[in-house]
Amino acid sequence: MRIETIPLPHSSIGQSVSLTALHFGQESSVRKVYIQASLHADELPGALTAFHLRQQLTDLAHHISSHIVLVPLANPIGLAQQLLYATQGRFELGTGQNFNRLGELDLYELTLKEIQNSQMILGQDAQANVSKIRAAMARALTKYPTGTVLEAMHHQLLTWAFDADVVLDLHCDWRAVMHMYTTPDGWPEVEPLARYLGSQCQLIADDSGCNPFDEALSTTWTKLARYFPDANIPAACTATTVELRGQADVAHELAQQDARAIVQFLMHRGDIVQDAASLPPIIAEPSPLAGVERLSANAAGLVVYHVEPGDHVRSGQMVAEIINPLTQNITPLTCHIDGFVFACNYYRYANAGDALISISGAKELAHATLSP
């Protein structure tokens, strides 16, 4: 294992911020897997999973045939953000930018510009096209002038990940079951991971339009394929966001289990040369991200949940009550679809408009998007 630590530019005077990546296996291999944890810095089940994954990969070092990059803590900026005794790890406090939204750092636009400026010719040889496009990505990222420490952090993470065949971005939700996000093209590649993890909900979208980390990598290829319809451009990067249950699910037993599942997935892919366990049955087939109903509080008051993550609900079912102890008013909150509750907030008091419950459904409701 090689440990690589990169100091980030643009830190405040007297401060130093750095990112650390652990490199396993054959760094010269044409196959590469990139795994990062806790880009939302207060989502820590992934960091503990990375802790155990590091140990397991170290034990299997002589069996690793691919280049595997593991970033156990992908957001040192968010880890340092404390407000009123609580880590503020989802948004950068100075700007309000979600740490999992890359903003103007658009890998597709940068790559397309580099391809056009270099007058690159893309033909029918898919592997040659992949090599050319990844070289263009590398040049584009090298030329990109970062302006803030947040942008520098995103840039470094992309620099480690852009040429990976598979990217796993480990997150979690408030209170949740294991679930995953990916693209239609990516689903066949990560379906075995969903089986090994026991994922209970798989949410699929071509493009959420938010420029999150996983889509920045995967959708670049599908967009380039659409832009150059006469060229044979494959979906060369499969990226998925894995939601490792809820924020409170930081436990050795769960993290060891999840790390073993990731290792089994890597064995199944051939990145680790050992026989993988038989594939477990899939728990849930994919459903559209555009079919998610996100229920918000329809009044201010105490929240009494009538459902929990893992429950199935029917349209019109009351899923929570909002109670005003002063007026004795009880406002029911009902869902409008048949579906599966995959996440709930931990709020027990809500103001009107606060997000409370996420339900996946089989039918598309609107344009696919992510929570803020």
Secondary structure percentages of the chain, helix, strand, coil, to 5: 30, 25, 45
> Contact, 193 vs 240, CB < 8 A?
yes
Task: Pick the closest to residue 69 from 38, 24, 134 (CA basis).
Answer: 24
Q: How far apart are CA 150 and CA 9, in angstroms?
A: 9
Task: Pick the closest to residue 212 from 172, 169, 276 (CA basis).
Answer: 169
Strands 339-344 and 355-360: antiparallel
Structure tokens at 121: 């010719």
- Please tell me the predicted confidence (pLDDT) of residue 286: 98
Q: Measured in whole angstroms, how far is the alpha carbon of residue 110 from the centre of its chain? A: 21
Find all residues with CB under 8 Å of 333, minimum gap 6, and list them.
295, 297, 298, 318, 319, 320, 321, 322, 356, 357
One of 3.30.70.270, 3.40.630.10, 3.40.50.80, 3.40.50.450 is the CATH number of 2-285, namely: 3.40.630.10
Q: What does pTM read for this prediction? A: 0.97
CATH 2.40.50.100 fits domain 290-360:
yes
Fold agreement between 2-285 and 290-360: no
- Please tell me the predicted confidence (pLDDT) of residue 367: 65
Q: How far apart are CA 319 and CA 258, in angstroms?
A: 30
> Contact, 310 vs 177, CB < 8 A?
yes
- Please tell me the predicted confidence (pLDDT) of residue 368: 61
Using DSSP, state whether 175 is helix, strand or coil.
strand
pLDDT in tens, the chain (372 residues): 999 999 999 988 999 999 999 999 999 999 999 999 999 999 999 999 999 999 999 999 999 999 999 999 999 999 999 999 999 999 999 999 999 999 999 999 999 999 999 999 999 999 999 999 999 999 999 999 999 999 999 999 999 999 999 999 999 999 999 999 999 999 999 999 999 999 999 999 998 889 999 999 999 999 999 999 999 999 999 999 999 999 999 999 999 999 999 999 999 999 999 999 999 999 999 999 999 999 999 999 999 999 999 999 999 999 999 999 999 999 999 999 999 999 999 999 999 999 999 999 999 987 667 777
> Contact, 266 vs 33, CB < 8 A?
yes
187: enclosing H helix or E strand: helix 187-197
Taking the domains of the chain in order of start, what are their residue ranges?
2-285, 290-360
